[in-house]
Amino acid sequence: MARPAADETAARALRPRVRPGKITKIEDSKVGQLLTLLDRSAVPQQLEELLAGRPGPAGVRPRTVLAGLLLAAYYTGRATIAEAWRILHFRLKPKARTRLGIPAEAPTTARECIAASRRLYRGFDRITTVLDPARCDRRSRLPQDIADAYADAWNVPSGRQAAERLQQLANQLVLTPVRLAHKHGHLRGWRGDVGVDATSIPVLSHPASDRTPTAPVEITAGWHYSGGSGEGTFGYSATFVVAAHRRRPGESAGKPTAYPQMCVGLVLDTPTVRTGRNAVLALEELSELGVPAGTCAADRAYTGCSPENFQIPVRRLGYRLALDYKVNDRGQQGSWQGALLVDGSLACPHMPAALVQATHGLDDKAVREIRDNQQLTEHITAREPHYLKTKQGPDARGAIRLQCPAAGPSPSVNCARRDRLRPRTPRTPGPPSAVVDFSDRRQRAAHPAARPTVQLPQNEWLSPPPADELPRVCSKSDITVPADAAGDLKTAKFRQDSHYLSDDWIAAYKPIRSHNEGIHGRLKGDEIDIGNPKHRPAPGQVAQTFLVALLVTAGNLDILETWLYQRTGTQLTDSVFDNTDPQPPTRPETEPPAQTGRPPPPTTGR
């Protein structure tokens, strides 16, 4: 029976828009590449297992939903169901349609268009529902008390288990192009240095208002404040781990990279919550690829984390830390077994006070413009001989062994206390030669007169104390500093592996941090803009995590293709994707987590 004309007109007004002039067919080869990439991530298979046996209409399979969104992200820079629907039903050729289970003929009537789009929406809704610890109505504002109960469901043990499952699936998507590059040797030039940083992911939802007792639609969103900015962004924080590299001290910038600078880790979460833990989660996923662990550079947001949430686990993963400090944290920060902790490095207990306090109260502008401050540069250089020397690098637990700067065959300072407690045995009999070849730089540096002398207290010259009354760093041959520095929170929190503001620190910290900003600019550019909430309008943390992950996956693939074309003039072929090793087995699966640790609050949501 024919439908009334009014119904057909209303249906045409409601259906997704089709732009006939912009319908260009996508090559089967590119669809096959992206589909193979998606299958290698193993995400569609895991979603099928989670959805098995759930009641209700099945809608479109997760593999088809994710393929449509990935195609939309790759070709339009938008991860929206509407763009995915247009591509799946109007821009694919018959072979690609068959692979994705799409009907051979495109919908022609308004009713067919609505039915096709609703099936796609239903398929995406099933994905977000099964992964949400506490499903609620995401279309309207809830009363604040009910929304708080739903938000708390993310923080109970079952909610954290579900959130970690979600982050693992997102990371599998992001890391699939990285695995592809690693498999074919494109990451050989990467030494394992990484930059960790968080960027804002704004949402379309408005924050809570003081005028109404309702919560925002995004119940787990919050305010993200970028460094140096007093104006916040309402939404989520995305923790990015980017493949980066340090430079040699004094090396100029601008050289082409020997590897594609891809995003190698992503975690989306509420701002200022689990900041350090999210970075560790991404680094743990990265370590399973078998890539080396180099230097990890992070800004002051991560320096301020509790050591057990960031610094300690990162060291135990094998990374060297390069950190920055807040104004009040610069200068002397503590001590460890008698050694002074000065700007993250352990030093001689009698380092001159002027050098210890050289950076005390130093503002951020002075740190950025250190090259223009001659006095500060001289103090930073004068600190070097007083730092403890590494005797043994980190072991499997992240512990290192350090020794006095006056010890060893190549001391950097002269110390009467050290000579008294541990007299030196000359390598050759007789007094040292008084003749020095001034044209030989090594001879000049090795002569005692060229080294600074430690100024001991006056009473020590008159009555030297026994060894057991002296600091351990002076009385023992070396000291051990474990990764957790048990008993000294500041040592575990502030210690780093490059001397702060030295040439080595600048060559490590600043380039890696610039690579972080570069990946943010690349992923928030014109082609792919994860910072535009209209490019990922679906509400909810689960939906936002998946949409951002798909956009970053498309961005990673674009970075790899661009780098390969600029370097060799070639493109990624079908054989490159087909020969990729399958996804390594994931962590042992556990039972699907319960929806929440408490009964869900009553609500009218679907």
Q: 108-119, pLDDT tens digit by residue?
A: 888 888 889 999
First CA to last CA distance, the chain:
33
d(CA 590, CA 90): 40
pLDDT at 509 over 90: yes
Q: How confident is the model at residue 591 (pLDDT cuts 50, 70, 90)?
A: very low
Instruction: Pick the range with the lowest mean pLDDT from 324-328, 341-345, 346-350, 487-491.
Output: 487-491
Buried-exposed string 143-182: b where 16+ CB fall within 10 A, e elsewhere? eeebbebbbbbbebebbbbbbebbbbbbbbbbbbbbbbbb
Buried b (16+ CB within 10 A) or exposed e, 503-542: bbbbbbbbbbbebbeebbebbbeeebbbbebebbbbbbbb
C-alpha–C-alpha distance, residues 221 and 203, integer Å: 8
Q: Which two tokens stand for residue 366?
A: 């002075």
373-409 per-position pLDDT tens digit: 899 999 999 999 999 999 998 888 889 999 999 998 8
Angle between the 62-76 and 110-131 helix axes, to the nearest 10 degrees?
100
DSSP per residue, 101-158: T--SSPP-SHHHHHHHHHHHHHHHHHHHHHH-SS----SSPPBHHHHHHHHHTTTSHH
Mean pLDDT, all residues of the chain: 88
Element (H, E) at 179: helix 157-183
Q: Are 329 and 336 in contact (CB under 8 A)?
A: no
Distance CA 568, CA 104 (A): 39
Give residue 200's identity as a one-letter amino acid code.
S
Q: Phi and psi at residue 264, in whole multiples of 5°?
A: -110, 15
User: Average pLDDT of 7-19?
Assistant: 64
**pLDDT surpasses 60 at 595:** no
Q: What's residue 110's pLDDT? A: 83
Distance CA 521, CA 515 (A): 10
pLDDT tens-digit series, residues 99-156:
999 998 999 888 888 889 999 999 999 999 999 998 888 778 899 999 999 999 999 9
Collapsing DSSP to helix, strand or coil, 552 comes out as: helix
Helix (H, G, I), strand (E, B) or coil at 556: helix
Dihedral of CA atoms 534, 222, 596, 145 in degrees, nearest 10, equals -110
Q: Which of 464, 483, 489 is nearest to 397 (CA)?
A: 483
Cα–chain-centroid distance for residue 172? 14
Q: If pLDDT is split at 50, 70 and 90, which confidence band does 58 have?
A: confident
User: In a 10 Å sphere around its CB, with 0-12 CB exposed, 13-18 middle and 19+ buried, how is residue 231 labelled?
Assistant: exposed
Q: Is the pLDDT of residue 598 over 90?
A: no
Q: Which helix (H) or strand (E) holds 597?
A: none
Q: What integer pLDDT is reported at residue 136 of this predicted model?
A: 87
Whole-structure pTM value: 0.88
User: 440 in helix, strand or coil?
Assistant: coil
241-278 confidence digits (pLDDT tens): 999 999 888 776 656 678 999 999 999 999 999 999 99
Q: What is the pLDDT of residue 602?
A: 47
pLDDT tens digits for range 302-335: 999 999 999 999 999 999 999 999 999 999 999 9
Q: Are strands 222-224 and 479-481 parallel, antiparallel or unpaired?
A: unpaired
User: What's the pLDDT score for residue 593?
Assistant: 43
| pLDDT for res 10 | 63
Average pLDDT over residues 324-347: 95
573-585: per-residue pLDDT in tens? 887 887 665 444 4
Helices vs. strands in the chain: H and E counts, helices first: 23, 12
